[in-house]
Structure 1
């Protein structure tokens, strides 16, 4: 398995995996599949998003099997912190080290960012596997947002987790 930073050349593969993620795990994302498929030129917006942050992908041979996106605060007052978004590993590869490899790579990247002190991620409270992974890297839950998402007729809580450098 290889983990590397994605480029514009990976935008189409990323978009396909993103649609899979929204369809297979709608509870894990604030975006919905129904909204995503209505986007005008999603590949172009995917490239723009990749350029505004750093997105890493896990590959099995040439197949993109997992992703994680790092976005740093842009203004002077928030440059000391960054967030992780759109974290996903395709179901067939869960429990096989892809998530751990992605998280390890993005944390190494974060630690090499000048004056970055805090890395945050939000995870639906029922996702025990993801919470365990984040905790194994030193993330701690700082608060639980009740009714953060409304998915398929039910409210879901999100745990907001942070790691300080």
Structure 2
């Protein structure tokens, strides 16, 4: 089941986020150690889940959150025709089951129902071939690569910038 997350889902989201930072540290700007230092992280997540223009969807199996994706509509008026896809993650054991595709399709559907949004943008570590293929399969095009975008344990990771025109 996929549904929009609510503030009451904050703890489940935070637990999954920590799992993501441990399992795939190269894919996220914040580190697991930095995340643990946040004050009141669950309260912060609950607040974010309630923000206008912030849409976080979760995939659940037997009541357990196994995947998430966030779409954040840009707020300055000159940028409000765009939205960012952030923090997409599916638990390792659930990958390959179509959960990621379903989450992304749900966000694309939501974006198409928001009159102002014309374009979805995201970044993905270039070594994440599976994610890049999923994004490409759903129509995202690469418009640039940032070299050495992330650095983790002395290793650099490039990020592809991808976009999807939805109107």
Q: Name the TM-score class by shorter chain.
A: over 0.9
Which stretch shows the higher mean deviation, 49-58 or 139-148? 49-58
Q: Secondary structure at the match of 1:49?
A: helix
TM-score normalized with structure 2 length: 0.97
Aligned partner of 2:65 in structure 1 is 64
How big is the shift at 1:114? Answer: 1.2
How far apart, in 2, do the equivalents of 1:114 and 1:47 lie?
A: 26
Give the match for residue 79 of structure 2: 78
Asked if 1:110 corresponds to 2:100, the answer is: no
What CA distance in whole angstroms lies between the structure 2 residues aligned with 1:68 and 1:12? 16
After TM superposition, give the deviation of residue 133 of structure 1 in Å.
0.3
> Counterpart in 1 of 2:18?
19
Q: CA deviation at 1:48?
A: 1.6
**Structure 1 residues not aligned, in runs of 5+:** none
Q: 1:84 offset after TM fit, Å?
A: 0.4
Q: Distance in 2 between matches of 1:16 and 1:114?
A: 33
- Comparing 139-148 with 111-120, which one deviates more in the overlay? 111-120
Query: 2: CA distance between counterparts of 1:12 and 1:146?
Result: 34
Matched residues, number? 164
Does residue 161 (structure 1) correspond to residue 162 (structure 2)? The answer is: yes
Q: TM-score, normalised by structure 1?
A: 0.98
Distance 1:48 1:137 in 2: 30
Task: Work out the CA distance in 1 between the residues paired with 2:108 and 2:96.
Answer: 19
1:134-145 correspondence to structure 2 within 5 Å: 134-145=135-146
Q: Distance in 1 between matches of 2:102 and 2:10?
A: 20
Structure 1 segments of 4 or more deviating over 6 A?
Answer: none
